[in-house]
Chain A
Amino acid sequence: MLDFDLNVHRVITIGSIDIWITDTTFSMAGIMLILIIFAVVVRIKLSKFKEIPTGFQNFVELIVEMFENFVAGSAGAKLSWVGGWFFTVFSFLLLSNMSGVVWFVRPPTADWTVPLSLAIITVVLMQAVGVWYRGWDYISKFFKPFFLFLPINILGELSRPISLSFRLFGNVLGGMILVSLVYALTPTVVAMFLPVVLHAYFDVISGAMQAFVFTVLSLTYLGLAVSED
Chain B
Amino acid sequence: MNPVAAVMIVAYITSTIAIFNGFATTFTQARIACVAIDAIARQPEARGPITTAMFASLAMAETGGIYGLVVSIIILFPNPILNNFIQYLV
Contact = CB atoms under 8 A, between A and B. Distances in A.
Contacts of A209: 55
Interface in B23-82: 49, 52, 55-56, 58-60, 62-63, 66-67, 69-70, 73
Given A170-B70, A173-B73, A177-B73, A217 B63 contact: no
A93 B70 CA distance: 20
A167 B62 contact: yes
Nearest to B56: A216
A12 B71 CA distance: 31
B59 A213 contact: yes
B66 A220 contact: no
6 contacts: A166-B63, A169-B70, A170-B73, A213-B55, A217-B56, A217-B60
Interface in A193-229: 209-210, 212-213, 216-217, 220
Interface in A68-84: 73-74
Nearest to B68: A170
A28 B67 CA distance: 25
Contacts of B52: 73-74, 216
Given A74-B52, A216-B52, A167 B59 contact: yes
Nearest to B72: A174
A174 B69 contact: yes
A171 B66 contact: yes
Interface of B: 49, 52, 55-56, 58-60, 62-63, 66-67, 69-70, 73
Contacts of A73: 49, 52
A163 interface: yes
A120 to B, nearest CB: 17
Contacts of B63: 163, 166-167
A166 B66 contact: yes
A157 to B, nearest CB: 16
A177 B73 CA distance: 9
Nearest to A169: B70
Contacts of B56: 213, 216-217, 220
A163 B6 CA distance: 33
A174 B73 contact: yes
Nearest to A70: B52
B55 A166 contact: no
Nearest to B78: A5
Interface string A164-200: 0011011101100100000000000000000000000
Contacts of B66: 166-167, 170-171, 174
Contacts of A174: 66, 69, 73
A166 B59 contact: no
Residue from B55, B59, B69 with most neighbouring chain A CB atoms (10 Å)? B59
